[in-house]
Structure 1
């Protein structure tokens, strides 16, 4: 007996019936094959192959998103994360397009975890009790075969097998993405995952910070360290972003180590800082003056101490205290030597009636003055004038004695007065005694006489 089934004729023998069942299962597989979502059955290869959704689906990614095909699916990724255009899959697997780290994305981009999809292993509709990927249990039910556990999967060594109902799928662990069927390490350091320093390691990365910063608990961002809390400076400390600066109190300067403060020697800056002598002190300086002076209110100048006014002198009650710059002297009572007689406490006179007074000055007037050492010249220092005027008389002023070094000269300022001028500086301490003579000439009565001012000049030791 013959049977005609779909254009084929077979004998009714058992041998031919078995052949018919083989043909239904093997010769026409395309009528009973199904693949998981994202895969399509290739009749030539006789297996399920990946569907490139980026090429087959219209507008699969919207807006500024770019489609990247994956094994069994696809990803929509912002275009700004890529620095090279996407190249569709061809004979060679597409190279990964890395995100541009300049855009400042801080969140980690890792390909999406594989979706829970239908098994990638092809299912065959048959008259068998369980589908492929399942095994019959003793109770007649079908149990899923864990291909990952039984190591019956075909994932390559770089991939991770994930069991699904009736099949399995191949994916990558965190820190890797699937490119050309291979799991390749993601270089997280290229995408700005770390705020400062980044070290890429297989499947992960490690962040660290520059000196002056510490890593925050998020293991990505860095926080400034306040170095001033550890008091690294000997004086003052100012915290800066990532570092610190030391400053010093007034009168100190920062040493070469940047943290220690050393005393500033203000006295070395200028010899004119103090009028007399400068003494350096920690953080400052002080001026001192020689004996006979005190430091003025400005802290730098020296002012004469008037020992005669303060009573800080050794003069007796019979003596007269005379103060000069930087000191004093005790003047004994005036003693006039004969033929002179005392007419006042500072003047001696020689009477005209006394024959011994002939050719001698009529009076000697004693005066005292002080002068600073090295005083600038020329300088008018003393004036002299006639106190009594006679009709027809004229006066001549001159230095009679004491000007051995020619430091002085007389300049007549009128017919009855003259000025003593210092023409050369005199260094002290020194005592100079000058006899300044005023000659009176009267041709009408044929008279010629003179008077003397005995001027004692105390030149100080210092120029102040």
Structure 2
């Protein structure tokens, strides 16, 4: 009988059933192993051999049996993804001809005589004990020799082999190197077969395991480095990798190490250092150095700016006090507060930043002292004819470097006579030409300072007022002796 695809057995009909003797032949028609692709795996499932238990009560001729684990006589269910048996007795027209009856089997069918009884019991595991139940009455024996009968699997399915106890056990194709996985794949043994798989980080493409570039798919939050079969995530400076190995978390440098000398402010992915008031950040961005506020402007303090670590303060010279604005200086009136060293005969005159002890005036001959600040030359005295009629003493103070021009003193005649006019001039003391007299009216004039004067300095000017009367043909003069005290400071 011509073998069909799969497996079939040839035997002889015996008196008590189908017998297979030593010369009985088991034919095997090799079938290519199907390849099922599942993502990163390819699974090889070998054809299986028919596991036949012989019913001793049957008397029929076995023509052919097609059985393969590849389920060439089966179909693949799209829902359960499992192979199901095809009933060839229903699907194949005239599967058995003549007096033969078609009996469907898993993975194939049998043709047996219609007159022979058939025991249709439940399916039994081919590895279980032989059937031991009652049998139908056997047909009369034929004139044929008796052959030993078998009640065990004839041969193991592909992917299995028979051990010493005549049991079919799985063959580890991976261990025996009998698989067809290429060098880029790994072999995983399965029950009755094996699977060619790619390791993590690879995918199967045209039978080859190719590296997956995980970095192309945004596996990492920040930095990604692809390596064969894997990848590694790293973070930018200022971040640390989380336990998931992919995302990054900001590092609070201020809480962990506080790299700043003074104040640390955490930012996303970094930090900044800030300095306390009065300090400035150095070029390294970490250290703070004292800020010299006094160098910013000479007008920060009215007198002197004193720098200190982180701050500054203004000071005033002796004779001054610091005002509430902490920058301006105000003169202390020592004469008013009786904080001077003048004796009882002297007069205390307050200056900017100090005081003067002025001695009583002394009137030179032929002058007579008529008050604390006035000397007069009597008209009846012939020596007074060419001398000023009176000398009046005045005192004033001026700050050093006062802006000019500045009107600092005013003279005026006390009496105006008919037919008289007045002339004002600086008689002495203006050798440096720092002053001049500007007549502001018929009987008045103003002393103008034309140049700034640096102190401390004492200046004495004799300001003369000449009276001319053409009616009575009179010419006379009076002098104001002005003592100017220039302070040391410009305030």
Q: What is the TM-score of this pair, normalised by structure 2?
A: 0.69
CA shift for structure 1 position 383: 0.6
Q: Deviations over 1:117-165 (max 9, x none)?
A: 7x52233448634322233456655333333344433323332323333
Name the SS of the counterpart of 1:309 in structure 2.
coil
Counterpart of 1:264 in structure 2 is: 291
Name the SS of the counterpart of 2:321 in structure 1.
strand
CA shift for structure 1 position 367: 0.4
**230, 248, 252: which one aligns with 1:222:** 248
CA shift for structure 1 position 233: 0.7
Alignment of 1:254-333 (within 5 A): 254-333=281-360
Alignment RMSD? 2.9
Whether the aligned pair in 2 keeps the contact of 1:186 and 1:203 (CA below 8 Å) is: yes
Name the SS of the counterpart of 1:153 in structure 2.
coil
For residues 391 and 358 of structure 2, the distance between their equivalents in structure 1, rounded to whole angstroms, comes to 17
Name the SS of the counterpart of 2:289 in structure 1.
strand
Larger gyration radius, structure 1 or structure 2: 2
- The number of equivalent residue pairs is 375
For residues 46 and 238 of structure 2, the distance between their equivalents in structure 1, rounded to whole angstroms, comes to 56
Name the SS of the counterpart of 1:257 in structure 2.
coil
For residues 377 and 170 of structure 2, the distance between their equivalents in structure 1, rounded to whole angstroms, comes to 154
Alignment of 1:399-414 (within 5 A): 399-414=426-441
Alignment of 1:305-454 (within 5 A): 305-454=332-481
Q: Deviations over 1:331-386 (max 9, x none)?
A: 11233233222222211222222333322222111100111223222221111111
CA shift for structure 1 position 18: 9.6
**Cα distance 1:166–1:376, how it changes in 2: closer, same or farther (>3 A)?**
closer
1:167 aligns with 2:187: no
For residues 374 and 168 of structure 1, the distance between their equivalents in structure 2, rounded to whole angstroms, comes to 108
**Cα distance 1:290–1:331, how it changes in 2: closer, same or farther (>3 A)?**
same
Counterpart of 2:32 in structure 1 is: 47
For residues 359 and 387 of structure 2, the distance between their equivalents in structure 1, rounded to whole angstroms, comes to 24
For residues 180 and 361 of structure 1, the distance between their equivalents in structure 2, rounded to whole angstroms, comes to 132
1:25 aligns with 2:52: no
CA shift for structure 1 position 330: 0.3
Q: Deviations over 1:176-202 (max 9, x none)?
A: 222222223323233222222333333
Whether the aligned pair in 2 keeps the contact of 1:25 and 1:126 (CA below 8 Å) is: no
For residues 165 and 441 of structure 2, the distance between their equivalents in structure 1, rounded to whole angstroms, comes to 153
Counterpart of 1:120 in structure 2 is: 45
Counterpart of 1:54 in structure 2 is: none
Moved more, 263-272 or 243-252: 263-272
Alignment of 1:80-229 (within 5 A): 111=40, 120-125=45-50, 128-136=154-162, 141-229=167-255
Whether the aligned pair in 2 keeps the contact of 1:361 and 1:450 (CA below 8 Å) is: yes
For residues 130 and 459 of structure 1, the distance between their equivalents in structure 2, rounded to whole angstroms, comes to 131
**Cα distance 1:49–1:138, how it changes in 2: closer, same or farther (>3 A)?**
closer
Q: Which runs of 5+ in 2 are unaligned?
A: 5-9, 13-20, 53-153
For residues 449 and 209 of structure 1, the distance between their equivalents in structure 2, rounded to whole angstroms, comes to 102
Name the SS of the counterpart of 1:249 in structure 2.
coil
For residues 433 and 208 of structure 2, the distance between their equivalents in structure 1, rounded to whole angstroms, comes to 113
Counterpart of 1:73 in structure 2 is: 37
Moved more, 175-184 or 360-369: 175-184
Whether the aligned pair in 2 keeps the contact of 1:384 and 1:419 (CA below 8 Å) is: yes
Counterpart of 1:58 in structure 2 is: none
Name the SS of the counterpart of 1:47 in structure 2.
coil
Q: Deviations over 1:37-74 (max 9, x none)?
A: xxxxxxxxx51343xxxxxxxxxxxxxxxxxxxxx134
Name the SS of the counterpart of 2:231 in structure 1.
strand
Q: Which has the higher helix share?
A: 1
CA shift for structure 1 position 418: 1.1
CA shift for structure 1 position 5: 11
For residues 443 and 313 of structure 1, the distance between their equivalents in structure 2, rounded to whole angstroms, comes to 51
Counterpart of 2:260 in structure 1 is: 233
Whether the aligned pair in 1 keeps the contact of 2:334 and 2:350 (CA below 8 Å) is: yes
For residues 237 and 4 of structure 1, the distance between their equivalents in structure 2, rounded to whole angstroms, comes to 92
CA shift for structure 1 position 453: 0.9
**Cα distance 1:374–1:169, how it changes in 2: closer, same or farther (>3 A)?**
closer
For residues 484 and 3 of structure 2, the distance between their equivalents in structure 1, rounded to whole angstroms, comes to 157
CA shift for structure 1 position 307: 2.0
Counterpart of 1:456 in structure 2 is: 483
Whether the aligned pair in 1 keeps the contact of 2:49 and 2:155 (CA below 8 Å) is: no
**Cα distance 1:177–1:386, how it changes in 2: closer, same or farther (>3 A)?**
same
